[in-house]
Amino acid sequence: MESEDRSNRAWGPQTAAVHAGEGIDPTTRASSPNLVMSSTFAPEEMAGFSARNREGYEGFVYGRLSNPTVRQLEEKLAVLEDAEDAQAYASGMAATHALLAGRLSVGDHLIVSDSNYVGTAELVRDSLPRWGIEVTPLDTSDLAAIANAARPETRMLWIETPANPIMRLTDIAACAALKRDKGIRDLVVDSTFASPLGCRPLDLVD
């Protein structure tokens, strides 16, 4: 089920929050998003369940991978965040876990804020070291501290701004520059508290 006119980058945030990702349903002409409840789909061409099998296939296969309702949310978030695309998860911690587990490997080093949401703090401090990933928690508002901690194996710099629970701010643009200078592969910004109405991290990095 494809709908039309799902996003317009010229919209202001209020209009985008309401309309982005949504369009008239071509089958029913419904003007509000239909909730799609099916867990499985009948693809027009053969498509496997694994990510490898689905490479290049845009349609829906299985609800856990994506479904039209979730896709509408992702398109809305991409417009609100000024992002190329977005990927929705069942919770913030599911997204956090996917990023850490998907991007870091044994021997890698992570620099992370020493004040962050408790779920993130527990995951990085308790689980990552067990998987052979070294973690340096520090005050990420202190750019010199980040620069000093960076080493050749540092693959990710994870900042949370404003940081939960102390609301400490970290300079996103400065961290992006530091990431480049130090050859750190990934900069992750948990911008949950600001929301895209308060801060759009992707507008602050090149």
Ligand X SMILES: Cc1ncc(COP(=O)(O)O)c(C=O)c1O
Among 26, 48, 92, 107, indicate the residue that binds ligand X (CB under 6 A).
92
Burial label for 35, CB within 10 Å (0-12, 13-18, 19+), is exposed
Residue 3 or 116 having the CB closest to ligand X: 116
> How many of the chain's residues bind ligand X (CB under 6 A)?
11
Tokens linked to 77: 């978030």
- Verify binding: residue 161, ligand X, rule CB under 6 A: no
| Phi/psi at 24 (5° precision) | -70, 130
Q: How far is the CB of 70 from ligand X (least distance, A)?
A: 15
E strand segments, 44-153: 109-113, 134-138
- Verify binding: residue 127, ligand X, rule CB under 6 A: no
- Verify binding: residue 91, ligand X, rule CB under 6 A: yes
Q: How far is the CB of 189 from ligand X (least distance, A)?
A: 10
- Verify binding: residue 158, ligand X, rule CB under 6 A: no
Helix, strand counts (H, E) of the chain? 7, 4
Among 22, 75, 108, 190, indicate the residue that binds ligand X (CB under 6 A).
190
Residue 75 or 160 having the CB closest to ligand X: 160
Burial label for 116, CB within 10 Å (0-12, 13-18, 19+), is buried
